[in-house]
Structure 1
Amino acid sequence: MTDSSAGSGGGSGGGSSGRPSRGSGSFTVHLAEELEVYFNEVAHGRPVGFVASAKWKPPTDIFETDDALVVCMDIAGMRSEDFSVQLADGILTIGGERKVRRDGKPHYHAMEVQVGPFERRFRLPVRVDPESIRANYEHGFLEVRLTKVPVRSSGTQSVKVE
């Protein structure tokens, strides 16, 4: 599966958390993101954790069950109507905008909750039934569920060479 907004991810193996370890390519991407955060904090006097970015990337888990592909995005503080979920040509696109929900002009000491527009695009690793797509937002998690299309076992087939 490819997430075009986050570089290369995933990997194999695993740690004690049961989650796949990151591949070396995503380490470089992660390091670059951390350096950007540090640069913004030091050079621009931004609050700790603030990244000046046009779009941000909500953390997302993608997994398969026996009959479905499930995409679970951690994105609290939104309403179901704030999301856009689309499937086209095997690419799932999830977008939206998390808005600041504070009155007045607060003085931040830390700003770690990211706000603003986001878009994540994932190339699906298995064939799915596009008509089966369902999305549910509950307790701060957006879950998108797609029914997998069974792989045809065609056996051996002879082909006449012309």
Structure 2
Amino acid sequence: MAGLKNLKKRRRVQVILVAAVALALSTAMIGYAMRDGINFFRAPSQVAEEPPAPNETFRLGGLVEDGTLVRGQGETITFSVTDGGASIPVAYTGVLPDLFEEGQGMVGTGRLIDGVFQATEILAKHDETYMPKEVIDALKEQGVYEDPNG
């Protein structure tokens, strides 16, 4: 009987060790996946006040400023994003979402390089049901946001 007790104890220790290794491995993988840092959201006014470092990836959100959308020669598109308090120029190479247009909300992921937000991803936001709360809060703070529901 003593041998059976030792076997159970050894098995329990093995299970705990395997679980500890799995936990350490998953924690390391999550850390590696987030090595670029969490994409913090910023409004144009926040970017203008405290420009992030060129190597910092972050999310920029606001309204596409009227009269600034230029579809260039080639695939690079430039426009400005505003929250009413500040305007940040954006350059993006790629295909824009169908709903993307001036006066509409957008959120982009990228980096601020030499004063221009170099976007790697652009999402168009057509109304407040799809617009992140942070964008709405930033627009309300600048007095630009109008609630479509009254």
**TM superposition score normalised by structure 2:** 0.26
Greater relative contact order structure (CA < 8 Å, 6+ sep): 1
TM-score normalized by the length of structure 1: 0.25
Q: Which has the larger radius of gyration?
A: 2
Higher helix proportion, which one?
2
